Amino acid sequence: MKKIAAVITMLCMSGLAWAQTYPSRAVKVVVPWPPGQATDIAARVVAQKLQESLGQPFVIENKPGAGGAIGSDAVAKGTPDGYTLLAASSGPLSIMPNLQKVPYDPLKDLAPISLVAAVPFALVTHPSFPAANAREFVALMKANPGKYTFSSSGTGATAHLFTELFNSMAGIEARHVPYKGTAPAITDIINGQISYTIETVAATVGHVKSGRLKAYGVSTVRRAGAMPDVPPLAEVTGLPYDAAAWIGYAAPPGTPREVLLRVSSEIQKALQSEEMKERFATLGLDPVSSTPDEMAAFMRREQERYATIIRNANIKIEQ
């Protein structure tokens, strides 16, 4: 027993020593999206803070393709030494596995580190839409089943799922019109060809400020940093509606826990600053952070939640 205790103590001490000296060289952060996308921007902001606090470069490597699956799979199969991390996000990890076959199991093949940001959405229409607030919007939609249309950036996209969830909760029947991207989906609302959508605050806030879109509410129960004057849809309608996409950091499975905890701790510290809150607000994001265990539990809940939305709305995409 003494020998076993000694071995355990030695392993704990070596793990602690490794965590104290980590990182001793540059760390690669794989972003499974092209430059400029929300996950890419959030990952870069956090990487800069990690570089400042840990004293080694955190280098972004964009590896886009297959809706984020290529880069996510590369990290899932990467070396678990703490020197390859993933800018994780809800699309390839919470949604895609419920819609199509992917080469990884996000709940088994990745080691969560910390959440980084929540991506709030907003219910928007053309400014002329005849409803003064979200409660009136719901009443009008319910009184005219099948009359109105809603757009999204594509079938199975987050905007599609969040709008379907809201429609289901509110008892709304409307026709989905999928587009190839967020910009055309919003443009046709501005042009008056589509009735509404629930799309990211980042993509809609500029149009709302310019008067080209009307915002009825945000998808989160807390007000979004970039739209502080727009109330939560849950507050106005009384519906238990709370939805946001998410961004975080993860690592290959088997990465030493001490390393996960150290990076998580630094992320949590960085995101508590007023500077980061203001920076994220300008990006249409809300900073959030977590322990590795909290993020793991969150990912399990999110995957189950999206599975339910997809099943209830009978959403299918072409393979």
Rounded average pLDDT per 10-residue block, the chain, 319 residues? 51 54 97 95 97 98 96 98 98 96 97 98 98 98 98 96 98 97 96 97 96 98 96 98 98 98 98 93 95 98 96 85
CA angle 302, 95, 213 (to 5 degrees): 95
Give the CATH number for residue 199.
3.40.190.10
Whether residues 114 and 138 share a domain: the answer is: no
Is the residue at 34 inside a domain? Answer: yes
Q: Cβ distance 32 to 25 under 8 Å?
A: no
Whether residues 45 and 190 share a domain: the answer is: no
Is the residue at 261 inside a domain? Answer: yes
pLDDT for the residue 20:
72
Six-digit token string for 242: 């709370």
Q: Are strands 84-89 and 244-251 parallel, antiparallel or unpaired?
A: antiparallel
Six-digit token string for 280: 């994220």
Task: Give the separation between CA 151 and CA 184, rounded to whole angstroms.
Answer: 9
pLDDT for the residue 14:
47
pLDDT for the residue 299:
98
pLDDT for the residue 3:
55
State the residue range of the domain holding 138.
120-237
Task: Scan for tokens 């238990």, then name that residue.
Answer: 240
Half-sphere exposure of residue 317: CA atoms within 13 angstroms, side-chain side: 17
Whether residues 103 and 148 share a domain: the answer is: no
Whether residues 157 and 230 share a domain: the answer is: yes
Whether residues 139 and 208 share a domain: the answer is: yes
Task: Give the separation between CA 25 and CA 131, rounded to whole angstroms.
Answer: 57
Q: What is the pTM of this model?
A: 0.90
pLDDT for the residue 145:
97
Task: Give the separation between CA 184 and CA 188, rounded to whole angstroms.
Answer: 6
pLDDT for the residue 41:
95
Whether residues 130 and 181 share a domain: the answer is: yes
Is the residue at 8 inside a domain? Answer: no
Per the structure, the count of domains in the chain is: 2
DSSP, res 253? T
Task: Give the separation between CA 252 and CA 108, rounded to whole angstroms.
Answer: 10
Residue 32's closest CA among 240, 197, 249, 225?
249
Question: With b meaning 16 or more CB within 10 Å and e meaning fewer, what string describes 101-139?
Answer: ebebebeebbbbbbbbbbbbbbbbbbeebebeebbebbe
Give the CATH number for residue 98.
3.40.190.150
Angle between helix axes 38-54 and 274-282 (nearest 10 degrees) is 160
Q: Are strands 27-31 and 84-89 parallel, antiparallel or unpaired?
A: parallel
